[in-house]
């Protein structure tokens, strides 16, 4: 009985690739999220999955495989079959940053097929509403006059807000005290309690506090600025010219057949224009960028990885520098 089952399974596996490209998808698709349930990436993935189901005509099952900034899910993806039924939704971190921080079991540009970039978080820097620093310039001036006195809270050492501030500090010529927290929420608590002077993190976590007049955003790494905090300076206007972003990406294992990749790309592009994804993205302060897929996405991620490599090295976090 067992042997018969095995034999038929083996036959199925042999037969599958022939028919798969045309008929894909014929069964539910599983999307692993590399972050815990209830977080920003999880919520956006679930909304995207619901929006994409109609176009694909199959259920999309979202499963959380959190761990090590998304690299647990990405590592497992590289061991999955490239048949389009197993995908990962993650931030760019496992592709553009983690490989510079420590040795991993995969090469992000050899072992993966990038499918689509579907969102971008707005990264912001903020102080308390009653802080004496009204603008970004105020903070920089004060930090220059008081070397090493600026206490800065952020959601992790390799996070965009920390890496970018490290670069800015080097350009402007000030030093600061680096205090990592386990995510945006504890950093916000520390800012509101007056334990740190400034924090950096995602706009979606901060918006409520800005509207409640508890927090003021001074700097944002977007070209457009923020509707709810118009006084905030954009990183471009400040003239820093730092290439940094936190983006959301769907990936598949390497050697995914092109017809299947094309079907997935089309379905996900379609989904980014539909509810509930559009609504959830707006409410969570996430930008839906122009669709970026295939080779163009690969090039974009390479560029991002290269600029993060520089930022990580400058922050003294590069893997070979650590003894």
In this structure, the number of other CB atoms found within 10 A of the CB of residue 171 comes to 14
Residue 160: name the closest of 203, 193, 131, 192 by CA. Answer: 203
Mode of pairing for the β-strands spanning 29-33 and 60-64: parallel
Tell me which of 58, 131, 135, 178 binds another protein, using CB under 8 A.
178
Is 67 a residue that touches another protein (CB under 8 A)?
yes
317 lines the binding site for another protein (CB under 8 A):
yes
Q: Judged by CB under 8 A, which of 58, 131, 135, 151 binds another protein?
A: 151
**Interface with another protein includes 196 (CB under 8 A)?**
yes
| In the complex, minimum distance from the CB of residue 33 to another protein, in angstroms, rounded to a whole number | 10
CA angle at 200 for the pair 199 and 206, rounded to the nearest 5° = 90
Q: Does 190 participate in binding another protein (rule CB under 8 A)?
A: yes
Residue 135 and residue 218: Cα distance in Å, rounded? 6
Contacts (CB under 8 A) with another protein, residues 245-284 = 276, 279-280, 283-284
**Measured from the CB atom, is 55 or 179 closer to another protein?**
179
Ranges of beta strands (E only) in the chain are 29-33, 60-64, 86-91, 112-121, 123-128, 150-154, 176-180, 198-202, 215-220, 233-234, 246-253, 286-287, 292-293
Among residues 5, 12, 182, 295, which is the contact residue for another protein, using CB under 8 A? 182
Q: What is the CA radius of gyration of the chain?
A: 21
**192 contributes a contact to another protein by CB under 8 A:** yes
By the rule CB under 8 A, 105 interacts with another protein: yes
> What residues pair up with 253 in beta bridges, in sequence order?
112
Pick out residues in 33-52 that bind another protein (CB under 8 A). Answer: 36-39, 42-43, 46-47, 50
In the numeric block, which tokens belong to residue 95? 């592709």
- Regarding 238 and contact with another protein (CB under 8 A), the answer is no
Q: Which is nearer to another protein, 39 or 291 (CB)?
A: 39
CB of 287 to another protein, least distance (A): 16
User: What's the distance, CA 313 to chain centroid?
Assistant: 20
Q: Does 102 bind another protein (CB under 8 A)?
A: yes
Q: How many residues bind another protein (CB under 8 A)?
A: 59
Identify the DSSP state of 182. Answer: S
Whether the ω angle into residue 25 lies within 30 degrees of 0, i.e. cis, is yes
Let me know: does 166 contact 314? Beta carbons within 8 Å.
yes
**Minimum distance from CB of 211 to another protein (Å)?**
6
Within positions 4 to 33, which residues make up the interface with another protein, using CB under 8 A?
none
- Contacts with another protein, residue ranges (CB under 8 A): 36-39, 42-43, 46-47, 50, 62-68, 71-72, 75, 101-105, 148, 151, 156-158, 177-182, 185-186, 188-190, 192-196, 204, 207-209, 211-212, 214, 276, 279-280, 283-284, 317, 322
């Amino acid at each position: 009985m067992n042997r018969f089952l095995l034999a038929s399974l083996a036959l199925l596996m042999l037969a599958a690739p022939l028919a798969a490209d045309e008929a894909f998808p014929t069964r539910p698709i599983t999307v692993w999220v590399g972050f815990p349930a209830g977080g920003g990436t999880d919520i956006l993935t679930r909304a995207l999955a619901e929006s994409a189901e109609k176009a694909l005509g199959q259920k999309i099952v979202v499963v959380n495989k959190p761990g090590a900034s998304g690299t647990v899910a990405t590592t497992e993806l590289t061991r999955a079959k490239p048949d389009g039924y197993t995908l990962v939704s993650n931030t760019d971190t496992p592709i553009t940053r983690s490989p510079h921080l420590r040795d991993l079991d995969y090469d992000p540009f050899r072992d993966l097929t990038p499918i689509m970039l579907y969102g971008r978080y707005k990264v912001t820097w903020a102080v308390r509403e009653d802080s004496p620093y009204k603008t970004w310039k105020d903070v920089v001036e004060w930090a220059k006059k008081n070397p090493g006195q600026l206490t800065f809270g952020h959601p992790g050492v390799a996070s965009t807000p920390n890496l970018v501030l490290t670069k800015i500090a080097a350009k402007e010529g000030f030093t600061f005290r680096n205090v990592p927290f386990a995510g945006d929420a504890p950093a916000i608590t520390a800012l509101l309690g007056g334990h740190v002077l400034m924090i950096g993190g995602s706009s979606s976590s901060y918006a409520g506090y800005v509207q409640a007049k508890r927090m003021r955003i001074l700097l944002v790494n977007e070209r457009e600025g923020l509707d709810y905090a118009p006084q905030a300076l954009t990183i471009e206007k400040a003239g820093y010219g730092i290439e940094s972003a936190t983006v959301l990406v769907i990936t598949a294992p390497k050697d995914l057949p092109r017809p299947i990749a094309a079907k997935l790309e089309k379905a996900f592009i379609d989904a980014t224009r539909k509810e509930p994804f559009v609504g959830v993205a707006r409410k969570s302060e996430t930008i839906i960028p122009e669709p970026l897929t295939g080779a163009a996405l690969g090039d974009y991620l390479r560029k991002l990885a290269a600029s993060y490599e520089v930022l990580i090295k400058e922050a003294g976090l590069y893997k070979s520098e650590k003894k």
